[in-house]
Structure 1
Amino acid sequence: MNASPRQAGTPRARRRWPRVLLVCAVPLALLVVLWLVVWLALPPERVVPMVLARIGASMNLEISAEGDAASRLGAHPSFVVRNLVAREPGAERPLLQARRLLVSLPWSTIRSLGDTLDLVRIELDEPVVDVAALQHWLGTRPPGEGRLPTLSDGLRVRDGRIEGAGWRIEALRLALPRLHPDQPLRAQAAGRYVDASTRAPFDLAATLMRPASGRGFAVAGPVVPAQGDWRLPAWITLSGALHWNDGLRLLPARFGASGRYLSGDTTVPFSLGVHGPLRAHDGSWTLVPAGLALRGGGLVPVFDARGRLGLGQRLLLDLDGRIAQWPEAWPALPPPLGGSREPLALSLAYLGAPDLSDPLALRAGRDDMRFDGRLDVPALVVWGTSTLPDSLLPPLDGRLEAARIEISGAQLEGVVVEFEDDPAAAPAPPP
């Protein structure tokens, strides 16, 4: 799928560097140079506040550090700052905290007074990033192009945390062996995603073949979402071309997941593929238009659909597709519905909690049969995985219409069936 001209942007825009790295790279390099130059003339206890104040003023940040700072000369001069805190002036919440920051660089960067952005290594211990505070600060920074720094010995993050709105990533470990704008970038990231109801440990490998343009981006690895008494261990892949102008975009995104739903003694294998333009803005992700393909066994049908997907504070599903064949694990349809070879047209609509705990609307049709109703997804999972379900029918509310149904040899015409999973909670019929 090709992005429109407006989506793709101009060649100049497509080559724009990632803003977070760019905004921090130049001041960081200058900080190191200034630190080491001044360190030769002043003791560290006087150097620390002077350098942090200088770099903070250039970035419109208040930057402070506590504890003993350290500097070391040699083949690769370096400095260490402890208990680092960076926030916008007057802001209550810092956008970055770190127990320890180490930066080392070659003498060539010092001799150039920061004109070259060549560094050796960056290490961060226990960093905490506040996403809302970071986004607010980035919104105040002037736009512009720039140069990525080089890291000959890479970047290492240990025991990091990212705080979002209602979610966080904790125990984050990040390893980047090397960074160069014209060479493939490879990184390893592991940690745990946590929100009010879900925990998802992950261990992902990422590749960016062309850091300068964002081309050749791919992520792969295991993810294990868990909630209540179920787990969903899966191997996921995500690839596409990264675009940094006007927010983060992956055009197009190709997502795949292969895994198993585990609950007690129940195991349901599945495979999922999704394709479309992925966009991130203000903490929300959208995939419009989206193509989706679901495969599996047992309760999982062969389902292909197109529509819209979105994830933020709420989950959006708006899909129109078809099920190629009625799964054998589903309740058998009476004839002639059960004998039809036609695919089942299926439309799904959902806007609610990300854990699918709100009702999901669905419409289904095959030949002259139509169903329009609502489905309780968590109850459906319990029903489908139970060895002795309370009912032979899945938990749903709705209306089924069929021109003809055969039951025990008797033919019924003009059939209308009303389903009520919980009659006491069902709304009263219209007058």
Structure 2
Amino acid sequence: MTLSRRLRLTLIACAGVVSVLVLAVLVTLYLLLQPDRFTAMLQSQAHGAGLELSLASPAHPTLLPYPSLELEGLTLTAQGASTPILLAARGRLALPWRTIFGGPTAISQLEIDSPRVDLGALQDWLGALPPRPASAPLQVPRIDTGVRITQGSVVSGDHLLLNQVTLNAGSLIPNKPFLLDVTARTADDTPVQWHLSATPRMQGNSLQLDDIALHIAHGSTLSLQLAGTARWQGAANASLQLHGTLADKDRGDYSTSLTLTPADQNSPLLLALKLDGTDNHVDLRLPPLALAHWWTQLGSTTSTPQLTVPPANGSIDVASLDVGGMHIEGLSVRAGDAVPAAASSTATPAQPAKTKHAPKPKKK
């Protein structure tokens, strides 16, 4: 059966009207989105944090699978630095419909494909940030935008630390649960996973993290489950209580606790780590700031690194330990005030770590 001439003309007219409407919608959406305003907003926010954001080409809008702006060739660099903190092939800003139809400028999710993060450049930028004024009130940092990263990598100079990084983070809003999931592979291709959930809220002038649940898995042999709370009142006035279990497929479970004690007039910020298993025991107290400085000096490229004992206080007793291709048995270490006093001494000053029983290295 053939269509009548009138029906054919009607269908052609309808198709033409639909095409014109679609074109009009696309043009209208482009004008409403105004890609330049989102690019300028991101660059302004980056500049306020001491960063410079550049794109290889102007942002352009898309409708499928959802309204978004496509960003090509992202580079994020600290102001005055030469090494980028982040390089990414592509980025995408997912936009809510209310923004599409003339509402306030908002972003519902930030997606980044194949980013490369330089840990050294990131540490340099963080170290150059000005300290928060003591009189400034604390606030929960609000991040309405969810973040998704795929096929990322983390490097330190020319050294690959993590590859195939996938990150999913929800919005960070006071009094609402915050979720963070990360999967990656180490330089030796071992899979690792992190899952964190916590609820941020303000209590007086303190930032409180309640209902912390942390799960870390390293390969198929190690997993860590911790739960607890944290509190921060600015500078080194922070506290943390996490308790849980470290599960080792080969050596059983360890009762685990992490406790962070705030600094006072006599003591620095201090992190206490305890592991208790059948044959292995760790009881260490580490000053995080001094430990970070020690690690920075150890990896310094401007001077010859010196192998020194990390700043620690406590004891380690390990029946057996596998490190790389070495097997160590009967390792016992004492550091700081855990070092036994000499028979002729009347006071025991802090001393470098000493090995009580020499370990017996054996090649596997």
Residue in structure 1 matching 2:334, options 348, 367, 377:
348
Pick from 220, 227, 233: which aligns with 1:239? 227
Partner of 1:223: 218
Task: Select which of 72, 79, 88 maps to 2:69.
Answer: 79
Equivalence for 1:191: 184
Instruction: Give the TM-score of the pair, scaled to structure 1.
Output: 0.50
User: Unmatched 5+ residue regions in structure 1?
Assistant: 1-35, 225-231, 261-266, 280-285, 330-345, 351-360, 365-371, 387-431
Contact 1:161 1:169 in 2 (8 A): yes
Separation in structure 2 between the aligned mates of residue 90 and residue 321 of structure 1, nearest angstrom: 44
3-state SS of paired residue (1:65):
strand
Q: Secondary structure at the match of 1:126?
A: strand
Following the alignment from structure 1 to structure 2, what is the Cα–Cα distance between the partners of residues 177 and 258? 28
Cα offsets for 1:80-132 (capped at 9, x unmatched): 10110021333111122222111122244575644xxx532221112223344
Residue 258 (structure 1) aligns with: 247
Q: Does 1:290 align with 2:272?
A: yes
Matched, 1:133 2:110: no
**Quick one: distance in 1 between partners of 2:315 and 2:62?**
63
Partner of 2:107: 119
Taking the aligned partners of 2:112 and 2:237, their CA distance within structure 1 comes to 24
Provide the secondary structure at the position in 2 that maps to 1:253: strand
Counterparts of residues 15-26 of structure 1 (less than 5 Å):
none
How far, CA to CA, are the matches of 2:193 and 2:143 in structure 1? 26
Aligned AA (1:273): T
Counterpart Cα distance in 1 of 2:94 and 2:222: 38
- State the match for 1:88 in structure 2: 78
- Residues 17-416 of structure 1 aligned to structure 2 (within 5 Å): 40=31, 57-67=47-57, 69-72=59-62, 77-108=67-98, 111=102, 113-114=104-105, 119-138=107-126, 139-140=128-129, 143=132, 145=139, 148-151=142-145, 154-164=146-156, 168-176=161-169, 179-194=172-187, 201-210=191-200, 213-224=208-219, 233-243=221-231, 245-246=234-235, 251-254=240-243, 256-260=245-249, 267-269=250-252, 271-277=254-260, 288=270, 290=272, 292-296=274-278, 300-301=279-280, 303=281, 305=283, 307-308=285-286, 312=292, 313=295, 315-319=310-314, 348-349=334-335, 374=355, 379-380=359-360, 382=362
State the secondary structure of the residue aligned to 2:362. helix
- C-alpha deviation, 1:206, in angstroms: 1.3
Change (3 A) 1:239 1:131: farther
Amino acid at match of 2:113: D
Deviations for 1:307-358, whole angstroms, at most 9, x for unmatched residues?
54765526444325999xxx9x9xxxxxxxxxxxxxxxx86228xxxxxxxx
Check conservation: 1:363, 1:373, Cα contact below 8 A: no
Contact 1:240 1:250 in 2 (8 A): no
Q: What TM-score do the two structures reach when normalised by structure 2?
A: 0.58
Counterpart CA distance in 2 for 1:142 and 1:254 is 31
1:202: Cα distance to partner? 1.4
Shift of 1:220: 0.9
Q: What is the rounded CA distance, in whole Å, between the counterparts of 2:183 and 2:284 in structure 1?
A: 32
Please state how far the C-alpha of 1:247 moved relative to its aligned partner. 6.5
Equivalent-residue separation in structure 1 for 2:107 and 2:141 (angstroms): 13
Contact 1:173/1:189 (8 A) holds in 2: yes
Give yes or no for contact 2:257–2:273 (8 Å, CA) kept in 1: yes
Partner of 2:23: none
User: 2: distance between equivalents of 1:55 and 1:309?
Assistant: 33
Contact 1:317 1:348 in 2 (8 A): no
Q: Say what the alpha-carbon RMSD is for the aligned residues.
A: 4.8
Q: Could you list the per-position Cα deviations for residues 218-250 of structure 1 after superposition, in whole angstroms to 9, with x for gaps in the alignment?
A: 2113214xxxxxxx9211123333445326955
Change (3 A) 1:75 1:170: closer
Number of equivalenced pairs: 281
The amino acid of 1:348's aligned partner reads R
* Alpha-carbon separation, structure 1, partners of 2:115 and 2:178: 22
Report if the CA contact (8 A) 2:140-2:201 is conserved. Answer: no
CA distance in 2, matches of 1:42, 1:320: 60
Indicate how the Cα distance of structure 1 residues 130 and 362 shifts in structure 2: closer, same or farther if over 3 A, else same.
Answer: same
- CA distance 1:321–1:223, shift in 2 (3 Å): closer
Structure 2: segments with no counterpart, 5+ residues:
1-26, 203-207, 263-267, 296-308, 321-331, 342-352
Write the distance in 2 (CA, Å) between the matches of 1:48 and 1:106.
13
- Identity fraction in percent: 19
User: How far has the Cα of 1:293 moved from its partner?
Assistant: 3.9
**CA distance change for structure 1 residues 290 and 57 in 2, over 3 Å: closer, same or farther?**
closer
